[in-house]
Structure formats: structure tokens, C-alpha cells
Amino acid sequence: MSPGRSALIFSEQTSSDVFIERAGASDGSLPRIMAAVVTHIHDIIKELRPSREDWQKLIEFLTEVGHASDERRQEWVLLSDLIGASALVEEINSRRPKGATPNTIRGPFYRSDAPARAAGANISFDGIGEPLAVSGRVTDLDGLPVANAEVVTWQANAYGVYENQQPDMQPEHNLRGVFRTDANGSFHYQTVVPAGYGVPGDGPVGHLLARAGYPLHRPAHIHFLVRAEGFETITTHIFDGSDPHLGEDALFGVKPELIRVFEPAEEGRKVEFTFVMVRAKPGRSA
Ligand SMILES: [Fe+2]
């Protein structure tokens, strides 16, 4: 009797080959990706040899991740972030020459509608926290200024909470703003020193990792997105060099060149940073 469309009989040895043979019947990139994913999944199963009950537990976990996700919360993104998959995709897609500011993941608290602010403006609308003066430059790889670059910033407050996590407690767009560099590529503004925070640990992903004793901290940081005509967009963080959790960022964003000391200033503290941009390759802007 013929086994059907496939010439191969399904067994532990042939399992992924049988799948690939069937998937190869259609065109496009999805079968190629699916073939790779399925082959890896089969290999994991063959290596770990889970019981039926273990496999059922995995299905239940993934079901919970789906149920915990909605328009306001993305548990799948959290899972991708916390296992380093998001950071790895970012690494692969933003290789830059030495000296250029590296990209890191954008994270879940970005808002695309942050207001434009004048140079020197204070983005802390409630004034709660230790004052921090931020200044910096945007240059190309040769150190030449990039004028009129857009510097978008967002950060947590002195308690480690973003404005869009607390819409009833913090003013709208608190600790967010869009600045433009001047002819020297410079920008500056006032804010407050952000605190580090824990990533959401109340869902299935947080529960699983917390049970394993996995750290869910993010060291204190400020997010930046720097855009300029003709250059690759920089999406990155600046980390507070005094944070005790620098070595265990749950989202794998810390790189030595992104750590700065928030130095004592006349009032509060100050930090300075130069963003070094790379010219965009044709057809690629980010
Ligand atoms: Fe953040």
C-alpha cells in the first residue's frame, strides 16, 4: 500500500524530512522558514525526549502567553525580549562599524506621538525626582556635526515607572520629548534621574522565569531614537553607570559604550553623550 503523497514513512529518524518534503510543495519563503523551525523543534524533542505530560505543560504555557496578550499588553513580545531573541534580531539587523552608536531594542514603552520641545526644555512635567541635565551631540563617523537631527527621548520616572503605565498618575507625555540638533549637532534638555525597574513579572512569562530565579531587572536608563536624513536611525539606551543591575539587564541592552556616569552638577546631576550616526545604505533607513 502506498503511504500517500510522501515517499518517506514518518519515524523518529525521518520526522522533519517528511514535513520538509510536504512543505516543499508550495513556493515562497514561509516553507523555508517553517522547515527550519520545524526541524529545530523536532531536534529539541529528540534531544529532551519530553513525556506527553511535559509536552502538554508546554502547550498550556504557550496558551497562557496568548491569553495574557491584548492591545495593551504583549506577553509574546515580553517572551521574545526576555529570552534574548529580540536583542539578537536587533544585533543581526544593525551591524555597524566601530565607533558608531550601537542599536538596542526599542522596548514596549515608546510612543510615536511625543511632543516637539524647544532646546533646554524640562520634560519632567511633575518635577518629581532629582534634576538631571542631559546634553549631547549627534555626529557622523568622522565627528562632523549632524544638524537638524531629531532626538526622541523617553524614560521612566524616579520610581521606575513610565507615563503610559500610569495614565491616571503622571501627566500626559511626562518624561518624553522630541528635540532637534543645532548647527553644531548639539542638543540639551532638563529631566529627572530615572530609576531602574522590573519587567512585568505578573504574567506567565514572568512567573516562569521568576520560578527559575532569573533576574527581571532593568538597570536605570534613558531611551533615545535619533533620526536624520541620509543616516541609519539609531534606537538605543544610555545606562546609568552607578546602577547595581548593569550586569544583568533582563532585555540584554547594556553595552559598554552605552554606559555613562550621571555626574554631580550644581543642581542634581548631569550626563553627556555623543550619538555617532552611519550613512544609510540605499534602500535602508533603519
Ligand atoms: Fe525602558
How far does the centroid of ligand 1 lie from the alpha carbon of residue 159, in Å? 12
How far does the centroid of ligand 1 lie from the alpha carbon of residue 5, in Å? 51
How far does the centroid of ligand 1 lie from the alpha carbon of residue 54, in Å? 35
| Rounded distance between C-alpha atoms, residue 139 and residue 188, angstroms | 15
How far does the centroid of ligand 1 lie from the alpha carbon of residue 223, in Å? 6
- 71: phi then psi, degrees, rounded to nearest 5: -65, -25
How far does the centroid of ligand 1 lie from the alpha carbon of residue 21, in Å? 44
**Contact predicate 152/227, CB 8 Å:** yes
What confidence score (pLDDT) does residue 92 get? 92
What secondary structure letter does DSSP report for 169?
Answer: T
What confidence score (pLDDT) does residue 5 get? 57
| Rounded distance between C-alpha atoms, residue 251 and residue 271, angstroms | 23
β-pairing, 259-260 with 234-240? parallel
Q: How far is CA 169 from the centre of its chain?
A: 25
- 30: phi then psi, degrees, rounded to nearest 5: -60, -45
What confidence score (pLDDT) does residue 1 get? 44
How far does the centroid of ligand 1 lie from the alpha carbon of residue 253, in Å? 10
CA distances from 73 to 1, 108, 141, 231, 250 (A): 52, 9, 38, 32, 18
What confidence score (pLDDT) does residue 27 get? 64
What confidence score (pLDDT) does residue 65 get? 96
- 277: phi then psi, degrees, rounded to nearest 5: -100, 155
Residue type, 138: V
**What number of H helices and E strands is found in the chain?**
6, 11
Calculate Rg over the CA atoms of the chain.
Answer: 23
How far does the centroid of ligand 1 lie from the alpha carbon of residue 153, in Å? 11
| Rounded distance between C-alpha atoms, residue 123 and residue 224, angstroms | 14
Domains of the chain, by residue range, sit at 1-49, 76-277
What confidence score (pLDDT) does residue 193 get? 98
How far does the centroid of ligand 1 lie from the alpha carbon of residue 185, in Å? 25
Instruction: Judge: domain 76-277, CATH 2.60.130.10.
Output: yes
How far does the centroid of ligand 1 lie from the alpha carbon of residue 155, in Å? 6
pLDDT (tens, 9 = 90+) of the chain, 286 residues, equals 444 555 789 999 999 999 888 877 666 677 888 889 999 999 999 999 999 999 999 999 999 999 999 877 889 999 999 999 999 999 998 889 999 999 999 988 899 999 999 999 999 999 999 999 999 999 999 999 999 999 999 999 999 999 988 889 999 999 999 999 999 999 999 999 999 999 888 899 999 998 888 889 999 999 999 999 999 999 999 999 999 999 999 999 999 999 999 999 999 999 999 999 999 987 654 5
| Rounded distance between C-alpha atoms, residue 121 and residue 178, angstroms | 10
